Amino acid sequence: MKKIAFVTGATSGIGEAIAKILAKDYSLIICGRRKEKLEKLAAELNSSTEVHTLSFDVSNATEVAESINSLPAEWQAISVLVNNAGNAHGRAPIHKGDLADWDAMIDSNLKGLLYVTRAISPGMVERKSGDIINIGSIAGKEVYPEGNVYCASKFGVDAATNGMRMDLNPYGIRVMGIHPGLVETEFSMVRFKGDESKSNDVYKGMTPLYALDIAEIVKFALERPAHVTMADITIFPTAQASSTIVNRQN
Going from N- to C-terminal start, the domains of the chain cover 4-235
CB 1 within 8 A of CB 50: yes
Under DSSP, is residue 79 helix (H, G, I), strand (E, B) or coil? strand
Q: What is the pTM of this model?
A: 0.94
- 88: which DSSP letter? -
Q: Please list the active-site residues.
A: 150
**36, pLDDT greater than 80:** yes
Question: In terms of Cα–Cα distance, which of 203, 121, 218 is closest to 160?
Answer: 121
Euclidean distance between CA atoms 174 and 212, whole angstroms: 22
CA distances from 29 to 5, 10, 19, 73, 222 (A): 6, 9, 9, 13, 17
DSSP string, 124-188: HHHHT-EEEEEE--GGGT---TT-HHHHHHHHHHHHHHHHHHHHHGGGTEEEEEEEES-B-SSHH
pLDDT at 192: 67
According to the 3-state scheme, what is the secondary structure of 21-69? HHCCCCEEEEEECCHHHHHHHHHHHCCCCCEEEEECCCCCHHHHHHHHH
pLDDT digits 0-9 by tens, 137-188 = 999 999 999 999 999 999 999 999 999 999 999 999 999 999 999 999 876 6
Q: Mean pLDDT of all residues in the chain?
A: 95
Fold of 4-235: Rossmann fold (3.40.50)
pLDDT of residue 189: 63
Q: List the one residue out of 73, 92, 84, 71 whose CA is nearest residue 21.
A: 84
Q: Note the pLDDT of residue 68.
A: 98
In tens, the pLDDT along 176-222 reads 999 999 999 876 667 767 777 777 788 999 999 999 999 999 999 99
Q: Give me the percent of the chain exceeding a pLDDT of 70.
A: 98
Element (H, E) at 191: helix 187-191
Cα–Cα distances in angstroms (integers) from residue 181 to residues 30, 67, 112, 227, in the given order: 24, 31, 21, 28
48-61 mean pLDDT: 97
Position 135 scores a pLDDT of 98
Burial class (CB in 10 A: 0-12, 13-18, 19+), 162: middle
Q: Quick one: the chain helix, strand, coil %, rounded to 5?
A: 45, 15, 35
